[in-house]
């Protein structure tokens, strides 16, 4: 491996794994080659700790990067055309074999003017000064013995403008001190250190951090009062409802409460410290500014405040600090840890900046630039892991997800962008479904819920686990079922009763638990019963199956009438015979069917396919597609209905 690349990976991993230096995966690093021809730099949207030999970096021709800043034609473009052109020029300056979406860091230009090894981070102990009204004066006192002194960079819009500003400041610095600055404090932005070697850069970084930290106030932890989990669950539902009502977007609601969060919330000026807007580009980009202070989680009040933010062309809050309860975050599971880190860092920064002459936040024009900058939007997209499915960020539960139709439906929902609770009595089977989903969709979010749907306590426990993980529920698919076959005179009463328990009581218990959450959440929802064509047209030697599948349809129609006023839609899907991956269509069942029709077991599947109008075998994906459609906004006026994906075997009249 090239030495410059090896050095880059080392300093990136060392700094990226230190939570005191990096919040939300931010920051960037670079190392220039000894011949001065190339510069290796972190790729945009990559976490420093994750950089490796194969990915997370780009190699650029250094002279090409420097020429971008000197190109007067770029300066003449309007703001956003200029920034887009810079992105294109940086990509053209790349000289490596990296493919895909990896872009050079949006701050590549800054690194080009500095020494061989550059580390740019956003440490809270530095930002406490950089975001304070008296921050510059305090830093000058703190580093008065540093010769030559650190360079203070007044806030400038990041990207091309900041690069030109730093280039000009460095020219002036060199004229005065005959060398480049080793330490740069960027107002409301962060810290840059540069040195001849990676070890020297790391030593300098540690020196700056230790010196800045020495004069700052650490929040007293104290004892955290344990919060009742029912209060937390209710708050999640209220915040999710408020966020949906104001933005029209579904979100995962996560809850956090630790020493730092509790300590900030206990300060008498906590609410006052959250009033100034975003302190840094990262806080605005990821957290949409500071958390909203809420005295109580009243969904109407929160929705009103969010709507007011939107009306004023501000980004709606995604973090909420509830007095005496803790921190709630609305987002995707992938980006929530980054938001949490940035918010907790902001608590520390605001507390200390408040003491250092007051908090100095980004003004409206500075925020507008960040909000409209494509390069930052690209970085957030990578960090969020957002899909573009029709069910993006909706929370679903599928019973019987370990096999057969439940498995296919769970996979289909994740492909559509939903987060899915994989509920099954067989935990191992559900885990196998989870493995399949992760292999095909690495970013998909799932949770395995071991549950016997006939046991009320199991069902309640499963939904509590779901709420703890994601904070809400939008979709329930009842797919767990059994099919004891045989002539009326031969079927044991035990099998009959077991079919009633699984296919009817199980559907009832799941729907009841789901409906309670959906009603409390009050943003609508979908319940789908997976019935069967046998629920519409009885099949021979299937008493228990015919009865329970017909019952599932009628239960769904009754629920649709009950729940429609709350915008909860309830529908049934009656698939034809789905043989793929089915536990029902096992060898024993095939023998029963073969005997019923006087054919061989291996002729059963072709026989059933031949009975369809399309002469086409029905796959699990066909049923999953029907589920996704019914749960989507395209089916917003469909409730109490039956969809029959059976290739035209049963014609509903």
Q: Has 155 been annotated as catalytic? A: no
Residue that is written with structure tokens 């021809």 in the block: 37
Residue 167 · residue 113 · CB < 8 Å? yes
Which residues does 292 contact at the CB level (< 8 Å), separation at least 6? Answer: 274, 302, 305, 306, 317, 319, 320, 321
Using the structure block, give the residue that is written with the tokens 């399309």: 614
Give DSSP secondary structure letters for 445-509: -EEEEE--TT-HHHHHHHHHHHHHHHS---EEEE-------B-TTT--HHHHHHHHIIIIIHHHH
- CA nearest to 40, candidates 56, 27, 16: 56
Pick the catalytic residue from 255, 545, 566, 608: 545
What is the spatial distance between Cα 388 and Cα 417, in angstroms, rounded to a whole number? 7
- Cα radius of gyration (the chain): 30
Q: Are 302 and 238 contacting, i.e. CB atoms less than 8 angstroms apart?
A: yes
H or E element that contains 235: helix 229-247
Calculate helix-pair angle for 259-266, 336-355, nearest 10 degrees: 40
What are φ and ψ of residue 400, in 5° steps? 70, 30
Contact 410, 448 (CB under 8 A): no
- Name the token pair of 635: 């089916």
Check: CB of residue 102 under 8 Å from CB of residue 55: yes
Rounded-to-integer distance, Cα 422 and Cα 406, Å: 9
Measured from the Cβ of residue 257, the count of other Cβ atoms closer than 10 Å reads: 19
Q: How far apart are CA 119 and CA 113, in angstroms?
A: 13
Tell me which residue has tokens 């789901």: 514
Neighbours of 420 (CB within 10 A): 29
600: number of Cβ within 10 Å: 11
Report residue 339 CA to chain centroid gap. 10
Q: Would you please indicate which residues are annotated as catalytic (active-site) residues?
A: 545
């Amino acid at each position: 491996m090239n030495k410059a690349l090896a050095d880059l990976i080392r300093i990136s991993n060392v700094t990226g794994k230190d939570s005191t230096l990096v919040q939300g995966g931010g920051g960037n690093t670079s190392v220039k080659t000894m011949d001065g021809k190339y510069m290796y730099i972190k790729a945009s949207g990559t976490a420093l700790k994750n950089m490796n030999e194969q990915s997370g970096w780009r190699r650029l021709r250094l002279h090409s990067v420097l020429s971008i800043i000197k190109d007067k034609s770029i300066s003449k473009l309007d703001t956003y055309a200029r920034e887009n052109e810079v992105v294109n020029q940086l990509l053209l300056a790349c000289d490596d074999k990296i493919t895909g979406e990896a872009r050079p860091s949006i701050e590549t230009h800054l690194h080009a003017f500095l020494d061989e090894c550059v580390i740019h981070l956003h440490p809270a102990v530095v930002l406490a000064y950089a975001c304070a009204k008296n921050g510059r004066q305090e830093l000058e006192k703190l580093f008065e013995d540093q010769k030559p002194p650190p360079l203070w960079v007044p806030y400038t819009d990041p990207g091309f403008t900041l690069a030109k500003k730093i280039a000009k400041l460095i020219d002036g610095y060199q004229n005065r001190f005959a060398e480049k600055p080793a330490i740069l404090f960027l107002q409301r932005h962060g810290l840059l250190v540069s040195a001849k070697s990676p070890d020297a850069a790391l030593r300098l970084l540690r020196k700056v951090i230790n010196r800045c930290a020495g004069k700052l106030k650490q929040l007293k932890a104290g004892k955290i009062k344990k919060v009742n989990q029912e209060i937390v669950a209710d708050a999640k539902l209220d915040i999710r409802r408020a966020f949906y009502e104001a933005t029209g977007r579904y979100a995962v609601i996560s809850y956090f409460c630790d020493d730092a969060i509790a300590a900030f919330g206990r300060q008498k000026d906590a609410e006052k410290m959250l009033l100034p807007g975003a302190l840094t580009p990262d806080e605005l980009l990821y957290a949409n500014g500071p958390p909203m202070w809420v005295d109580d989680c009243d969904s109407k009040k929160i929705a009103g405040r969010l709507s007011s933010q939107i009306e004023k062309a501000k980004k709606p809050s995604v973090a909420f600090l509830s007095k005496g309860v803790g921190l709630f975050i609305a987002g995707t599971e992938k980006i929530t840890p980054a938001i949490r880190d940035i918010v907790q860092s902001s608590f520390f920064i605001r507390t200390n900046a408040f003491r250092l002459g007051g908090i100095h936040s980004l003004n409206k024009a500075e925020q507008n630039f960040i909000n409209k900058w494509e390069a930052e939007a690209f970085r957030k997209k990578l960090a969020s892991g957002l899909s573009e499915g029709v069910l993006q960020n909706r929370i679903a539960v599928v019973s019987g997800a370990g096999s057969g139709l439940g498995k296919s439906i769970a996979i289909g929902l994740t492909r559509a962008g939903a987060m899915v609770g994989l509920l099954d009595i067989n935990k191992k089977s559900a885990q196998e479904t989870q493995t399949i989903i992760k292999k095909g969709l690495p970013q998909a979010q799932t949770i395995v819920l071991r549950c016997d749907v006939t046991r009320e306590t199991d069902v309640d426990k499963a939904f509590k686990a779901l709420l703890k993980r994601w904070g809400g529920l939008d979709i329930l698919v009842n797919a767990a079922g059994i099919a004891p076959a045989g002539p009326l005179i031969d079927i044991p009463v035990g099998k009959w009763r077991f079919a009633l328990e699984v296919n009817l009581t199980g559907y009832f218990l799941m729907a009841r638990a789901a409906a309670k959450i959906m009603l409390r959440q009050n943003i609508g929802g979908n319940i789908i019963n997976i019935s069967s064509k046998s629920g519409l047209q009885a099949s021979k030697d299937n008493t228990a199956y015919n009865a329970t599948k017909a019952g599932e349809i009628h239960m769904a129609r009754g629920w649709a009438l009950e729940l429609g006023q709350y915008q909860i839609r309830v529908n049934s899907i009656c698939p034809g015979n789905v043989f793929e991956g089915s536990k029902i269509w096992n060898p024993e069942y095939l023998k029963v069917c073969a005997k019923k029709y006087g054919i061989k077991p291996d002729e059963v599947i072709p026989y059933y396919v031949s009975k369809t109008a399309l002469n086409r075998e029905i796959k699990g994906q066909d049923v999953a597609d029907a589920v996704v459609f019914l749960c989507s906004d395209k089916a917003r006026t469909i409730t109490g209905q039956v969809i029959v994906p059976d290739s035209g075997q049963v014609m509903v009249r």
